[in-house]
Amino acid sequence: MKATNKYAVIMAGGIGSRFWPISKTSHPKQFLDILGTGKTLIQQTFERLEKICPKENIYIVTNESYRALVKEQLPSISDDQILGEPAAKNTAPCIAYACHKINQKNPDALIAVAPSDHIILNEQEFVKQIETALITASENDFLITLGIKPTRPDTGYGYIQFVDNSKTNGHYKVKTFTEKPNLEIAKTFIQSGDFLWNAGIFVWSVKSIIHAFENYLPELNTTFLEGAKHYNTPQESNFINLIYPQCNSISIDYGIMEKADNVHVFAADFGWSDLGTWGSLYTIIDKDYVGNAVVYPNNVMMYDSSNCMINTKPEKLIVVEGLHDFIVVDTDEVLMICPKNKEQQIKEIVADVKSKKGEKYI
């Protein structure tokens, strides 16, 4: 497998509303240093994938309004590597766009697709798993997804059920996909032993994925196929601006992965979190002896408080007294205090703030 045939696509168009108020429409979470490491989530994702393929083969699909942010945070990439979406249309159109563009350049391409805002604690194992999946994709007409061995019955993740006796060279044939279940169903999934968390990370050859688009989303495929003569030319942007708003908003999971019969999953364990909520951040951050997780701890003073998730401005003094199992997030414009067990309502809070206070705080 030639290194020049290896590509990566980073999906970076989301607005991360469940990480409000630090994640805002104008500056969403993938462009933030949420962990306080000195690097943003998209920078960490890019550096991870750079260990797998040449950096000039890494493409970023993002909303057109974030193009300048991507360029600012990843200055080593060319303008051609930033694929600007004129409208948010979910993951199937964004993957179709990237894969058709890559196909025009290299029909032998092998592609890893990853979200821009996930945490991977064991990067060495991640690289090893993706490399193995790329080799498998080069030898088989498979659509490969990475599933994470679950550690708890989490209701915030989708699940992949695999055919238990189908393991071949480290991967299983996929039986079903399930959207975020309730707690009781999640518990039965964990107990059954044949379910994995859906990480939303994919590996395939460009031939296999375009063939799948032909079979399961033919209209969408035809739309992007018409742009073959425009990709990687100055006319590409005009073509995308013309056709993108007409695309149906549909996820790759619903549009292809749940329907195709050649989907395989690798059961992976590399310290993954989709960092979708404050609760998911809480699980991976260092905590003090009573369970408080503080992103910037130097200026936070805690008294008689436990199991709290605190994110504040590094230079601001925060004093917390008598608070247990709460999320506290403080920005220049917003202070949010929310019980940890109510964090799934943050999306609704954001919608309420937008309707009553306008766009300023969103």
Q: What pLDDT, in 10s, does the model give residues 145-178?
A: 999 999 888 888 899 999 887 777 789 999 999 9
Residue stretches of the chain with pLDDT short of 70 = none
How far is the C-alpha of 250 from the C-alpha of 92, rounded, in Å? 6
- Whether the CB-CB separation of 147 and 157 falls below 8 Å is answered with no
How far is the C-alpha of 80 from the C-alpha of 41, rounded, in Å? 21
**Per-residue pLDDT, 69:** 96
Tell me the longest C-alpha to C-alpha distance in the chain: 65
- Whether the CB-CB separation of 160 and 194 falls below 8 Å is answered with no
- Whether the CB-CB separation of 212 and 152 falls below 8 Å is answered with no
What is the value of pTM for the model shown?
0.92
DSSP string, 148-198: EPPSS--TTS-EEEE-TT--BTTEEEEEEEE-SPPHHHHHHHHHHS-EEEE
**Per-residue pLDDT, 131:** 96
CA separation, residue 60 to residues 12, 99, 155, 253, 360 (Å): 7, 12, 29, 20, 27
How far is the C-alpha of 94 from the C-alpha of 362, rounded, in Å? 24
**Per-residue pLDDT, 191:** 86
Compute the radius of gyration of the chain from its Cα atoms: 21
CA separation, residue 203 to residues 2, 233, 284 (Å): 16, 26, 26
Question: Structurally, what CATH architecture does the domain formed by 3-273 represent?
Answer: Alpha-Beta Complex (3.90)
Residue closest to 143 by CA, chosen among 204, 91, 207:
204
Angle at 210 between CA 205 and CA 213, to 5 degrees: 135
Count Cα atoms within 13 angstroms, Cβ side, for 184.
0
- Whether the CB-CB separation of 138 and 1 falls below 8 Å is answered with yes
**Per-residue pLDDT, 156:** 81
What is the sign, positive or negative, of the torsion defined by CA atoms of 262, 268, 270, 272? positive
Q: Any idea where the domains of the chain sit in the sequence?
A: 3-273, 283-361
What is the Cα 242 distance to its own chain's centre? Answer: 26
